[in-house]
Amino acid sequence: MDQSGQPDNLSPILSDQVLFNGEAVLLTFTGDGKLRFTGQSQRCLTVEKEVLGFALEGSRIRVKAVVEKRDGICCFGNSGVLVRQSFVFEHQSQDSLTIWSQKLRDYIDSLGRPKRLLVFVNPYGGKKSANKVFSEDVKPYLEDADIHITLIETKHQLHAKEVAKSMDLSKYDGIVCVSGDGILVE
């Protein structure tokens, strides 16, 4: 418990006045990994489930997230289609920006997310749609999450198996297959 009687993980780690969509809002990052921003309305992003990553852009932090879309508006709930969305927060000082980016980085790193992935794409897999699926549906999410990708397009049957046997797979946190079921069978 903190001094106010709240559980420690609900206490603010950081709280600062920032600009969001041209409006001054209070941005708070809590110990349970929630980014809350309140102005005329209140919003909340759960870092573990919704935030892919972030980027620094001058005095701004662009938080890259996946949120639910219902009826043309983005919502924060438990149903609906997932869409990528960015939330841009402009900080009033370089010190504030530095502290926020370090705390966000530390929290995201503590989640144990992969940093390096080996990606096999079978251009003939999935009814010959694997390249399109990777470039349009998979790659943007991996890039938003700052994951380093090693991409290998398979050339023939059993190619993925040959490559996997000859590589040092310990350099990767995981292997992603974009294909029909062929690469998984290999």
Point out the residues that are catalytic: 181
- Parallel/antiparallel/unpaired status of strands 73-75 and 51-57: unpaired
The partner residues of 51 in beta bridges, in order of sequence, read 65
CA distances 85 to 50, 62, 123, 140, Å, are 10, 10, 28, 11
Sign of the dihedral defined by the CA atoms of residues 98, 59, 66, 143, in that order: negative
Backbone angles phi, psi at 181, to 5 degrees: -95, 0
Sign of the dihedral defined by the CA atoms of residues 45, 150, 183, 123, in that order: positive
